[in-house]
Structure 1
Amino acid sequence: MDDTALLKLPFIMPSQAQKHVTHNEALLRLDALVQLSVKSRALSEPPSAVAEGARYIVAAGASGLWEGRAGQVAAFQDGIWVFYEPQPGWQAVIEDEASVAIWLDGMWQITSGGNGEQVARLGIGTAPDDTNRFSAKLNNALFAAAESGEGESGDLRLVMNKEGAGNVLSLIFQSGWSARAEFGLAGSDDLIFKTSADGVSFRDALVLRAADAVVDQPNLPRFKAFTNYDNYAALDSWTTIGINNADYNDQSVFDAGTGLFTAPADGTYFLGANLLFKVNASLDARMRARFLLNDVAPVRGSTQSLTGAHVSEQTTLRIEAFASLSTGDTVALQGGFTGADGYFAADETCFWGMKIG
């Protein structure tokens, strides 16, 4: 054997010339590794100014003179960088963190703070870094309240704090390392739930306002629309009313060109309409209305009618219905007259709907 098994201290061999070189090399290694204390483990390349004997743990992504040395101990000795491969059980004080690390399972793992209470970085099953100073890689985590029988309250509260209203305090949920949802105080003091299909563009799904506890659903599928002209309906025929203007149209579920509402997702929807009568030649016209599903059949329970004499532009017929719709289903508003033909008046003849479940 040419050196020791653990610290790799070189032996002085029989009849070896310049034995002092071998001896001094062993002393340098001992000087670097015994009572190991490093300046930092956050650098991936050598510092610009360094003192003789300074030691560092090389960070991931090492470059320059430290390239390919991640995790190793780099010691500046005799004006050059000398590298030492850590062995299981080696311990090192991390000076800029006031912490102690141990080399286990191929990584430096923090075991305690320098004062036994505070740790600047902590990794559980994975290595922390400057951005994620606490990192954990595990399958389950448990927080349990200290119970009253242990002299404690039995309560458990997790408190997270941000500096001010304009800062962010949130939880981000990822799939394949791409964000799909964010929950928290994201840039305001309102509690916001956001979702994303691509990890880049987010939309607010739910907002709980801090000021008054009002709940907003900014992207709830919903619409309210009206017709801006009088719609004529012939006697004893169903006419699709030309609803061609939208007061609001979240998720673009209503098409003002066709007057159709299209369900953007499977679910239960609430639909409503208000139809205003406008006299044509006779007050004997009898109004009726319905919602037509997929241009085929009426939505069950939506067909309603009014009989008797009407007062022009004062008599209204309102219909409402719940509908279980599938993605892509369309709904149109239809009206008609019996007894005599007539008009559904502009502006006050409206159609609306929203997803409720």
Structure 2
Amino acid sequence: MADISSSLSMPFIQPSQAQKHVTHNEALRILDVVTQLGVAADDQTTPPTSPADGTRYIIDAGGVNEWANHEGEVALFENGVWRFFVPRAGWRAYVINRDALVVYDGAEWIDLDSPELEEIETFGLGMNSLPDTPFSAKLNATLWTALYRADGGNGSLLKTLNKEASADDNGFVFQQDFQTRALLGLFGSDNLRLATTPDGTNFVDALIADNATGIVDQPRLPRFKGVTNFDNFCPAGTWTKIAINDLEYNEQAVFDAATNQFIVPVDGTYQLGALLTFKADSSTAARMGAQLLINGVTPISGSQVENTAAHFNGRTTISIQTLASLSAGSTVELHGIMRSQPGYFMADRTDFWGFKVG
């Protein structure tokens, strides 16, 4: 049978032992010293001259007099003499004179807010740290607040994320059930980038801010501009859909040249416009008008224009600019009319354009 306990080295009462109370009291004394351990100080090397009975210290390096050769041990002053206890890894103590909490790591006592804790390799809060994320936390809310001036701070809060080289990544990855859905930061360059993905593999850029100029690009903004490459004939008094068949740009393929329609990709507010140029058929007495129609039926408010002044071949124009709240899947068409006499909407000088603004 062992004589002492494995953790605190408390003596065991042996069979047929005389004066069992002595052993029992010694075990209680050890418990009294190390349980809820609080020490007066941990930065002294010389025993105090008049310590109170029961006072405890953690002896600093270089102990002298009665503390010589007891570096790092817990010293207890009791009944006029010093007793010493060798700590084991995991012991914790509250240091009264420094208002600090320390822990013994098996070799030395360290502050729980010591710079040495900065050297820990992994840290998990509410979960085990993941292999590629040494710091991992599982929680429902976080709060970061500036240190106020009244508390010794400057009232500001700055968080710095740093990367090594321009081609590296630096930013935030937003996930759903650990599947990436968006990125925000400096990914692959020094331009600020907001990108989304439906599958964690194929990314599309919603915003890119150039780091040198500050100019913001919206690569996926729904937008189009097209012209007609032939003279569109319009009979007198008949609304005619104008064929916009030569596209200068067509982001996300929102304009269908086969049907001459802008197809609204998502709900939102769109700015739309058109410029129409007159070309005479047999008479310049024709008078131009134009409008934008939703689904080929409903005129968009503010899009109906007409020029009743004298027309000059290749020089007289009318224009449309308007905002419209449109629903996904709706179509918008450009229609024109000639009053009194037939005429043409001139090739290469009649266009239709639009883009999403909100």
TM-score relative to the length of structure 1: 0.68
- Give the 5 Å matches for 1:6-17: none
Matched, 1:180 2:190: no
Partner of 2:350: 349
Q: For the residues of structure 2 that align with 1:216 and 1:6, how far apart are their CA atoms?
A: 68
- Give the 5 Å matches for 1:205-220: 205-220=206-221
Give SS of 2:296's match.
coil
Q: For the residues of structure 2 that align with 1:346 and 1:331, how far apart are their CA atoms?
A: 20
Partner of 1:303: 304
Partner of 1:269: 270
Identity within the alignment, % = 43
Give SS of 1:116's match.
helix
Shift in Å, 1:129:
3.5
Partner of 1:324: 325
Partner of 2:163: 162
Return closer, same or farther for 1:245/1:114 CA change in 2, 3 Å cut-off.
Answer: same
| CA distances 1:180-210 after superposition (whole Å, capped 9, x unpaired) | 1100001111111101122221111011111
Partner of 2:233: 232
Partner of 1:202: 203
Shift in Å, 1:116:
3.4
Partner of 1:287: 288
| CA distances 1:81-102 after superposition (whole Å, capped 9, x unpaired) | xxxxxxxxx959xxxxxx999x
Shift in Å, 1:115:
2.4
Return closer, same or farther for 1:100/1:208 CA change in 2, 3 Å cut-off.
Answer: farther
Which shifted more, 161-170 or 228-237? Answer: 161-170
Shift in Å, 1:351:
0.3
Q: For the residues of structure 2 that align with 1:304 and 1:145, how far apart are their CA atoms?
A: 57
| CA distances 1:63-95 after superposition (whole Å, capped 9, x unpaired) | xxxxxxxxxxxxxxxxxxxxxxxxxxx959xxx
Q: For the residues of structure 2 that align with 1:220 and 1:293, how far apart are their CA atoms?
A: 21
Aligned residues: 259
Return closer, same or farther for 1:100/1:144 CA change in 2, 3 Å cut-off.
Answer: farther
Return closer, same or farther for 1:217/1:230 CA change in 2, 3 Å cut-off.
Answer: same
Shift in Å, 1:155:
1.2
Give SS of 2:150's match.
helix
Which shifted more, 278-287 or 116-125? Answer: 116-125
Return closer, same or farther for 1:286/1:114 CA change in 2, 3 Å cut-off.
Answer: closer
- Quick one: which amino acid aligns to residue 217 of structure 2? D
- Quick one: which amino acid aligns to residue 188 of structure 2? G
Residue 161 of structure 2 contacts residue 171 of structure 2 at CA under 8 Å; is this kept in 1? Answer: no
- Quick one: which amino acid aligns to residue 164 of structure 1? A
Residue 289 of structure 1 contacts residue 336 of structure 1 at CA under 8 Å; is this kept in 2? Answer: yes
Return closer, same or farther for 1:235/1:151 CA change in 2, 3 Å cut-off.
Answer: same
Residue 269 of structure 1 contacts residue 323 of structure 1 at CA under 8 Å; is this kept in 2? Answer: yes
- Quick one: which amino acid aligns to residue 190 of structure 1? N
Shift in Å, 1:112:
7.8
Residue 235 of structure 1 contacts residue 339 of structure 1 at CA under 8 Å; is this kept in 2? Answer: yes
Rg larger for: 2
- Quick one: which amino acid aligns to residue 120 of structure 2? V
- Give the 5 Å matches for 1:1-357: 115-357=116-358
Shift in Å, 1:113:
7.8
Shift in Å, 1:154:
1.5
Return closer, same or farther for 1:337/1:119 CA change in 2, 3 Å cut-off.
Answer: same
Give SS of 1:179's match.
strand
Q: For the residues of structure 2 that align with 1:264 and 1:154, how far apart are their CA atoms?
A: 46
Structure 2 residue runs without a partner (length 5+): 8-88, 92-102, 106-111
Q: For the residues of structure 2 that align with 1:260 and 1:158, how far apart are their CA atoms?
A: 48
Structure 1 residue runs without a partner (length 5+): 8-89, 93-98, 102-110
Q: For the residues of structure 2 that align with 1:157 and 1:114, how far apart are their CA atoms?
A: 21
Which shifted more, 192-201 or 215-224? Answer: 192-201
- Quick one: which amino acid aligns to residue 167 of structure 2? G
Where in structure 1 do 4 or more consecutive aligned residues deviate above 4 Å?
A: 111-114
Give SS of 2:284's match.
coil
Please, what is the CA RMSD of the aligned residues? Answer: 2.5
TM-score relative to the length of structure 2: 0.68
